[in-house]
Chain A
């Protein structure tokens, strides 16, 4: 872990070595921010660990639990909400058998998140699947989407 953090910091240009950038990199690479890393970051930077926890908890985009293989963001912006984002989310939660308060399917395949406006309101309601926007989603399409993801996952494993 300790070389990991060092390398990560050194990869950043010198004037961008801010806590938030470092945390962003970790989030992007690992999908979440592990606790030992915060402890180490606190030691390295001299910022109290409690303040790092505060920082991480402030932003919704930082996760503290490990994420699934794929990531589906359901847009909950005003336009998407009005056009039925909750229906899509509920259907996703149903299909993936998410427990209350849990956002990753038990098999670790998909993590479902709510996000607030991705800026493509003309395609409302939309989801972002692994960084790719899919617009005008109907809730009945959700099972097919998940089936496709499962298939992709299976194919990837067989190769």
Chain B
């Protein structure tokens, strides 16, 4: 049985299931919210930062990751305000630094988000967005992977749990731990299918060469 609550999204009253994430609920109701690290059966993770929305809470509008929130009775949400656009543009800018991406549509989507944020923002931000994609910072350790963690999570859920994050901070990378067994990774290719940027080609073993030993 569905456990329904009513929320107000962009001024419209909608009834949603309280057991699915706010992001999923909004999407089901036709609200377009970008995200890269969300996958319905794996739940939210909050690493890409694109799905931010504004939620009304005790007198203030707060920016929250909609993939980590669950609908509550009477919740008020705004999905396309200036602040949201700016925040998404900022998140997109950070993600673009990890490029270039194999899937061109991801790159285009991120650039569109940056431009959307820049249109309403000031001139300073425009300069910033131009520089972000090009020079400025050192090339990331693994260009094309946004470290969203989807492959790690899907491998733990449906695969054999071989993928994992290694290190932290600047050195954060994804590694494959094969252990001592022969050919432990089978061929489910779940990680390849779920990767939002198309980084995993042709398979995880060739892509994730980082290891501790």
Contact = CB atoms under 8 A, between A and B. Distances in A.
Interface in B91-108: none
Contacts of A57: 165-168, 175, 212
A50 B162 CA distance: 5
17 contacts: A36-B180, A39-B180, A48-B162, A50-B161, A50-B162, A50-B163, A50-B175, A51-B161, A53-B175, A53-B211, A53-B212, A57-B165, A57-B167, A57-B175, A57-B212, A64-B212, A64-B213
A53 B167 CA distance: 9
Nearest to A53: B177
A61 to B, nearest CB: 13
A4 B6 CA distance: 59
Interface residues of A, number: 14
B167 A56 contact: no
Contacts of B156: 48
A56 B212 CA distance: 9
B169 to A, nearest CB: 10
Given A51-B161, A57-B166, A57-B175, 8 more contacts: A50-B161, A50-B163, A50-B164, A50-B176, A51-B164, A53-B212, A57-B165, A64-B212
Interface in A24-54: 35-36, 39, 42, 48-51, 53-54
Interface of B: 156, 161-168, 175-177, 179-180, 211-213
A58 interface: yes
A79 to B, nearest CB: 22
Interface string A75-92: 000000000000000000
A54 B164 contact: yes
Contacts of B211: 53
Contacts of B179: 39, 42, 49
A63 to B, nearest CB: 10
Nearest to B161: A48
A35 B161 CA distance: 17
B181 to A, nearest CB: 9
